[in-house]
């Protein structure tokens, strides 16, 4: 190697570099082909599975939507107790009660009893609210009628009582009574 010329040394080193590059390129090509084979295998095995899983999920979602719409249409305009009874007998709660077995029937009876008690209380509260509104309307009418039939003397006495109450609460002073314009 000592007696090689500069030209020969450059050519040999260049040749070694090219050989190493060819070796690296061949290895890269080999590994890329194995990656392509693995990718094709995954694509062939997984993608159809994912497609079928997505279809099953879509069908299940549509089935839940259909059940929900059927429940809504079957209970439209009904009371909350009737809606709950439908859900327990045919709707989304039916499966849970069926799984509970004999305890499910007891649980159903307790749920319906509590719902009916709540509905009764709600109806009573609504009726009481309507009565209260009617009573307030009557009180307003009575006050209006009373005010329209008062004499000027009664109005004057009422105004004086109001002034004295304001004086007792220190909201106005004695001077205000004598000179209300200030």
For residue 23, being part of any structural domain is answered with: no
Domain count for the chain, please give it.
Answer: 2
Indicate whether 117 and 164 sit together in one domain.
no
Indicate whether 112 and 90 sit together in one domain.
yes
Q: What angle do the packed helices 80-89 and 102-148 form, to 10 degrees?
A: 170
CA dihedral for 78, 81, 84, 90, sign (positive or negative): negative
For residue 29, being part of any structural domain is answered with: no
The radius of gyration of the chain from alpha carbons, rounded to an integer in Å, stands at 46
For residue 167, being part of any structural domain is answered with: yes
Indicate whether 86 and 113 sit together in one domain.
yes
Range with the poorest average pLDDT among 14-28, 61-75, 152-166: 61-75
Range of the domain at 116: 77-141
Indicate whether 101 and 125 sit together in one domain.
yes
For residue 123, being part of any structural domain is answered with: yes
CA angle in degrees (0–180, nearest 5) for 18-22-27: 150
| Residue range 7-43, pLDDT digits in tens | 999 999 999 999 999 999 999 999 999 999 988 888 8
Indicate whether 113 and 156 sit together in one domain.
no
pLDDT at res. 130: 94
Mean pLDDT of 96-110: 81
For residue 8, being part of any structural domain is answered with: no
Indicate whether 81 and 136 sit together in one domain.
yes
pLDDT band at 177 (very low <50, low <70, confident <90, very high): low
pLDDT at res. 90: 79
Indicate whether 100 and 128 sit together in one domain.
yes
Indicate whether 135 and 166 sit together in one domain.
no
Give the tokens for residue 48.
């159809």
Indicate whether 156 and 117 sit together in one domain.
no
């Amino acid at each position: 190697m000592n007696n090689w010329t500069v030209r020969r040394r450059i050519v040999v080193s260049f040749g070694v570099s090219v050989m190493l590059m060819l070796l690296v390129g061949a290895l890269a090509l080999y590994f890329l082909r194995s990656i392509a084979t693995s990718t094709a295998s995954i694509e062939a095995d997984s993608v159809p599975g994912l497609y079928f899983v997505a279809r099953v999920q879509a069908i299940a979602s549509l089935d839940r939507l259909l059940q929900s719409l059927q429940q809504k249409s079957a209970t439209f305009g009904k009371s909350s107790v009737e809606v709950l009874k439908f859900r327990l007998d045919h709707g989304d709660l039916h499966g849970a009660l069926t799984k509970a077995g004999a305890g499910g029937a007891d649980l159903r009876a307790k749920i319906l009893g509590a719902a009916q008690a709540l509905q009764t209380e709600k109806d009573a509260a609504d009726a009481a609210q309507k009565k209260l509104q009617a009573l307030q309307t009557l009180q307003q009418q009575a006050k209006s009628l009373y005010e329209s039939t008062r004499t000027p003397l009664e109005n004057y006495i009422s105004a004086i009582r109001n002034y004295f109450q304001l004086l007792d609460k220190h909201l106005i002073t004695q001077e205000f009574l004598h000179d209300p314009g200030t």
